[in-house]
Amino acid sequence: MWFQKEIRLNARNRGFHLVTDEILNQVPELRKISIGIMNVFIKHTSASLTINENADPTVRQDFESYFNRAVPENEHYYQHIFEGSDDGPSHLKSSILGCSLNIPITNGKLNLGIWQGIYLCEHRNSASNRTVVVTLNGQLSS
């Protein structure tokens, strides 16, 4: 069985945000799959996706601090700054982290670790809603 759906994630401030529940609430079809995989693809070049700690919010703050230091704004060598000082750095951060995730499905649920969640990594200072494509592939429950 294949299923695909395009969903919108609410606009967020710059930073790393847990969106696991927001995605799952928009994809109830997942519950019908006994074994499979879910791919989540973000259709933007200035935001990214990753999986990490879902309990302690300081981990998300550490991610933001690290990436701001690793890929700082206002560097003299940036050429792509048409939309502001965060423009070029947001594209670099997005490429470093990536635009898609593959997550196993077991008995109608994502088979994530107990402390894992899906992050929307928002790299722009002011962003609008983000669009992700969720693709499910798997065996339907009997």
What does the pLDDT read at residue 89?
A: 94
Which residue range forms the structural domain that includes residue 28? Answer: 2-140
- Widest distance between CA atoms in the chain: 60
Predicted TM-score (pTM) of the model is: 0.95
Report how many domains make up the chain: 1
What does the pLDDT read at residue 39?
A: 98
The CA-based dihedral angle spanning residues 62, 127, 46, 81, taken in that order and rounded to the nearest 10 degrees: -100
Angle of helix 87-97 relative to helix 57-70, nearest 10 degrees, comes to 120
As beta bridge partners, residue 27 has none
As beta bridge partners, residue 140 has 33
pLDDT in tens, the chain (142 residues): 999 999 999 999 999 999 999 999 999 999 999 999 999 999 999 999 999 999 999 999 999 999 999 999 988 888 888 888 888 999 999 999 999 999 999 999 999 999 999 999 999 998 899 999 999 999 999 8
Cβ atoms of 131 and 14 closer than 8 Å:
no
Cβ atoms of 24 and 134 closer than 8 Å:
no
Output the domain CATH number for residue 56: 2.60.120.460
